[in-house]
Amino acid sequence: MEQKTDLLSLLPHEMAAWFTALGQPAYRGRQVFSALAAGTQFSDMTVLPLALREQLTRTCEYRLPTVERKLVSREDGTVKYLFRLLDGACIESVLMRYKHGNTLCISSQVGCRMGCRFCASTIGGLVRNLLPSELYGQVIAAQADDGERISNIVMMGIGEPLDNYDHVVKFLHLVNREEGLNIGYRHISLSTSGLVPGILALARESFPITLSISLHASTDEQRSAIMPVNRAYPLKELLAACVSYYRSTGRRISFEYTLLAGQNDSPEDARRLADLLKNAFRGTGAPLHVNLIRVNEVAETGFRRGSAESANRFMELLNRQGVVATLRRRLGADVNAACGQLRRSQMQQEADHGGTD
C-alpha cells in the first residue's frame, strides 16, 4: 500500500508546495493548514471542492490523537488525557487552568530511554519518537475537546524532548504559525533531563522559549545515582551549556528539583544547590530560579514524598541564599497520578486482555 501523506506535519509553505505539485492552487496550503489546526477532518473542509476533499481522505493522514480516557479534576478543572495514536500507542497530555490562560503539558515520545529512577514514563523504555504531527496533534485535540483556547505549552509529559530534537523543533514552528494556533514562543517551555548537545543546538535556533533543566541533585555522585544521563553529561558540562544558552538567548532558565525524601532534601543539599548555581552563573547577571516539586510516588521506584514543611524549609534556605525558589502547586491532585502512570495502567490492562486488536 502506498504511504499516506502526513499532512499535519507540514508547515504552510510546505503544504502550498504539496498542493501545487498536485496541480492545485498554492492557497489551498494555507486553507488546509488552518482547517487542520482547528481540528477539521478532510471530509468536513467545506472550503475545498468535494473531489479534493475525497482525494485528501484517500491519500492523506490526519494524525490527530483520539481521546482514549479523560480524567477531570473536581478540585480545579485540570484534565488528564490519555490519547491514542494511529498505531495504537498511548501518550498523556494534561490541561491545566491558570489565571494567565490554559496550559497544556504534552508528551514528546512514546516511552522514554533516559532511565531516571523516580520516573514512571521510562519504566518500559522508549517505544518510538512522536512525529511533528503527533506533538502538534495533542494541542489541537485537547483544544477541540475542551472548547477553550490553549495559550501555553509545557513539554514536560512522557519522553525526553531533546532526544526527539528535529521533530520537536518542527513542532515549535507548527504551533507558532499565526495561520494556525498562533502560540508565541514565550508561552512555550521545554524541559530536559540534560542532553547537552540538544541544549547547545537549541541555543543556536534562538527560539525565545523557556528552558527548564531537571537538575534534582547538587553533586555528580548524587545525580548519577538517580539520572543515568549525568554520566554522559555531568553537572559541569550541563551548567556550562545552560550558561551559553542564557548568553545567546537572554532567556532565564528554570531548574526543576524533585524533592526525594531522605535523598536530596536536607539543609545541606539546599546550601550546596544554591552554591552550585551561583558559582555556575557568576558574572552572567542571570536570575536564578528553582522550581521545587515533592516527588509523586511511583510504586515501582520506592522514592518517598516528604512533608510540606520540609519542602518549605528547603525553599526558604534557597531564597535566603539569593536563589529564587518556588514550590510547585499541585494542580488536579485527584487526577494527578505521576506522569506516565495512566499510560502504564492502560498498557497493563491491554496486556491482560490480549491487546487492542
Q: Where are the alpha helices (DSSP H) in the chain?
A: 12-21, 27-37, 50-59, 132-146, 165-176, 196-205, 220-226, 229-232, 235-249, 267-281, 308-320, 341-352
Tell me if 118 contacts ligand SAH by CB under 6 A. Answer: yes
Of 246 and 257, nearer to ligand SAH (C-beta) is 257
Of 45 and 168, nearer to ligand SAH (C-beta) is 168
Residue from 134, 146, 160, 269 touching ligand SAH (CB under 6 A): that is 160
Residue from 258, 263, 264, 336 touching ligand SAH (CB under 6 A): that is 258
Per-residue cell: 230? 549525568
Tell me if 191 contacts ligand SAH by CB under 6 A. Answer: yes
Query: Residue 154 Cβ, how far from ligand SAH at the closest point, in Å?
Result: 8
How far is 331 from 119, CA to CA, in rounded Å?
A: 18
Residues of this chain, 295-324, that bind ligand SAH according to CB under 6 A: 295-296, 298
Query: Residue 119 Cβ, how far from ligand SAH at the closest point, in Å?
Result: 4
Residue from 123, 127, 144, 338 touching ligand SAH (CB under 6 A): that is 338
Query: Residue 155 Cβ, how far from ligand SAH at the closest point, in Å?
Result: 7
Residues of this chain, 20-79, that bind ligand SAH according to CB under 6 A: none
Active site residues: 92, 339
How many CB atoms are located within 10 Å of the residue 339 CB?
21
Q: Which stretch binds ligand SAH (CB under 6 A): 38-46, 68-76, 202-210, 292-300?
A: 292-300
Backbone angles phi, psi at 226, to 5 degrees: -110, -15
Tell me if 256 contacts ligand SAH by CB under 6 A. Answer: yes
How far is 130 from 114, CA to CA, in rounded Å?
A: 16
Tell me if 193 contacts ligand SAH by CB under 6 A. Answer: yes
Residues 223 and 216: beta-carbon distance below 8 Å:
yes
How far is 139 from 155, CA to CA, in rounded Å?
A: 11
Residues of this chain, 201-220, that bind ligand SAH according to CB under 6 A: 214
Tell me if 156 contacts ligand SAH by CB under 6 A. Answer: yes
Per-residue cell: 90? 498511548
How many CB atoms are located within 10 Å of the residue 185 CB?
17
Of 230 and 296, nearer to ligand SAH (C-beta) is 296
Return the half-sphere exposure (C-beta side, CA atoms, 13 A cut-off) of residue 116.
Answer: 24
Concatenate the DSSP letters of all residues of 253-292 into one string. Answer: EEEEEEE-TTTS-SHHHHHHHHHHHHHHHTTT----EEEE
Of 227 and 323, nearer to ligand SAH (C-beta) is 227
Of 37 and 339, nearer to ligand SAH (C-beta) is 339
Tell me if 116 contacts ligand SAH by CB under 6 A. Answer: yes
CA distances from 93 to 82, 84, 112, 129, 357 (A): 7, 11, 15, 16, 24
Q: Grid coordinates 514562543 are at which residue?
A: 185
Binding residues for ligand SAH, how many (CB under 6 A)?
Answer: 18
Tell me if 293 contacts ligand SAH by CB under 6 A. Answer: yes
Q: Where are the alpha helices (DSSP H) in 12-131?
A: 12-21, 27-37, 50-59
Binding positions for ligand SAH, rule: CB under 6 A: 114, 116, 118-119, 156, 160, 191-193, 214, 256, 258, 293, 295-296, 298, 338-339
